[in-house]
Chain A
Amino acid sequence: MISVHGIVEVGTFSREFSLDVGNEIVGMFGANGSGKTSVLRTIAGLCPLAQGELRVNDELTDAPAKNIFVLPEMRNIGMVFQDHSLFPFMTAIENASFPLQMRGVKRATAVKMAAEMLEQFGVAHIAQHMAPTLSGGQSQRVAIARALIGSPSAVLLDEPLSAIDEESRESVRNHIREHLVRLGVSAIVVSHDRAELDHLCTRIENYTR
């Protein structure tokens, strides 16, 4: 469960959001500059709420009035960043296993689980390739695998299919859906592609200004 009721402020941008997400996949649709990415960053803990409250799985994680702010590393959130943000000094499999290692899973086990995830997303063959050598689509698949690995308590996907070629989209989309159902957590997908959200999400929130 994700519940955001408050003002998200990043630089000169400011917008009030009121969003409740149960164990479902909610799509956020809107034009550039409507604050979709900013609200994901707020939920992840990368920028604090200016006003209001944020709850993740019934835990109050951000409430400026009550001086509560849970650090991002304590929130256990899986996230696909718009530009993927793969660590450039790591291979694809090192990237995918990173969240598990951060949460105490032994390296060998984490690498094994990451290999399975990369296999599912069709990028097992580039597991040992350094991140900067990956194509846009490969990089995005690794980023998705990295966000869904382990047991995140919520999943945030910012334009998760933008770099995936048309032919592979359905397969990647199905794998994302399968994992989200397996995890049984709240998921928010941000996109400016309405059709994409229709395919992937159970509900769509329109944030067109």
Chain B
Amino acid sequence: MESVGSRTPRFVRIGALLGVAFLALPVVGLLKRVAWSTLWAQLTDVATRDALRISLYASVCATALAFLLGLPLAWCLARMQFSGRRIIRALVLLPMVLPPVVGGVALLGAYGKSNGLLGGVLNSLFGIQLTYSLWGVIIAETFVALPFLVLALEGGLRSIDTKYEEAAAVMGATDITRFVRVALPLLKPSLVAGLMLAWARALGEFGATITFAGNIQGRTQTAPLAVYTMLESNPEGAYALSFLLVAVSVAVLVGLRDRWIGGATT
């Protein structure tokens, strides 16, 4: 017999069930529309293969770039006291709350070929064009993925007891050695979670990519853009590719289960 305190009211249970149904229905709908007999053929189609190749390459590069930029940023936010820290944290969070299309427009303002603050200089001095190129895809994906990595790493760094780095210093470890041999191993769970979340976000990026890098098959068309394009011309292919992206997302969730999902269980 449940005590009064632990008893869940019926309307709460019904509400929760409705919530589950709301989330599950689209997944079921998607699975129902997948043409299983032609799934492999659809996934190995040239356009799909190109989109997957670009998606995989760009999302891995974006995650690596997010790591290079995000780790120092997270370190400073977690460990340093400086004026403007709140503003920088708000700036880090901005791509999370910004409509991705607006993010793409902002990227055009910064790295656009003719009018971009930096893009114009890069183009006139070195002939480098970031828009409508694979680099454009990588930059757009890095822009939206970076906050996920910074938040995970910042949380991880805050939870690490600095006594281990102090002990290492007394034992003769220099700054870099302390970072590589002590801080990074302690940070590993947060780092893995952050990298997976950032990679998943990069892989699913749509709005900023289409605005900043375009939707050119074989050059900048990623898997989500291919799904959008194929939905009219080849719905079977769109559903096949969507299924693959759902499978990847589920794999990420399974990979993170202990840290993000299992953590909620008692």
Decide if A188 is an interface residue (CB 8 Å cutoff): no
Given A81-B163, A83-B163, A87-B182, is A71 in contact with B171 using a C-beta cutoff of 8 Å? no
Q: CB within 8 A of A98: which of B171, B174, B186? A: B171
CB pair B170 A46 closer than 8 Å: yes
Q: How many residues of B contact A (CB 8 A)?
A: 16
Report the separation of the CA atoms of residues A44 and B177 in the bound assembly, to the nearest whole angstrom: 18
Decide if B252 is an interface residue (CB 8 Å cutoff): no
Residues of A within 8 A of B182 (CB): 87
Decide if A160 is an interface residue (CB 8 Å cutoff): no
Q: CB within 8 A of B172: which of A76, A83, A85? A: A76
What residue in chain B is nearest A103 (Cβ atoms)?
Answer: B172
Residues of B within 8 A of A46 (CB): 166, 169-170
Decide if A99 is an interface residue (CB 8 Å cutoff): yes
Question: Closest CB of chain A to B166's CB: distance in Å?
Answer: 5
Residues of A within 8 A of B163 (CB): 81, 83, 85
What residue in chain B is nearest A156 (Cβ atoms)?
Answer: B170
Main secondary structure of the interface of A (DSSP, over half): loop
Question: Closest CB of chain B to A63's CB: distance in Å?
Answer: 20
Question: Closest CB of chain A to B265's CB: distance in Å?
Answer: 22
Question: Closest CB of chain B to A97's CB: distance in Å?
Answer: 10
Cβ proximity bits B164-195 to A, threshold 8 Å, 1 near / 0 not: 10111111111001000010011010000000
CB pair B168 A98 closer than 8 Å: yes
Report the separation of the CA atoms of residues A103 and B185 in the bound assembly, to the nearest whole angstrom: 20
CB pair A102 B186 closer than 8 Å: no
Residues of B within 8 A of A6 (CB): none
Report the separation of the CA atoms of residues A44 and B168 in the bound assembly, to the nearest whole angstrom: 11
8 Å CB contacts to B: which residues of A87-133?
87-89, 98-99, 102-103
Q: CB within 8 A of A99: which of B166, B172, B174, B188? A: B172
Q: CB within 8 A of B170: which of A77, A88, A89? A: A77
Residues of B within 8 A of A79 (CB): 167, 170
Question: Closest CB of chain B to A87's CB: distance in Å?
Answer: 6
Residues of A within 8 A of B174 (CB): 73
Could you tell me which A residues sit within 8 Å of B by CB distance?
44-46, 71-73, 75-77, 79, 81, 83, 85, 87-89, 98-99, 102-103, 146
Could you tell me which B residues sit within 8 Å of A by CB distance?
163-164, 166-174, 177, 182, 185-186, 188
Task: Beyond the given A72-B169, A81-B167, please list 8 additional residue pairs across the A-B interface where CB-CB is below 8 A.
Answer: A46-B166, A72-B170, A83-B163, A85-B167, A87-B168, A87-B185, A98-B168, A102-B173
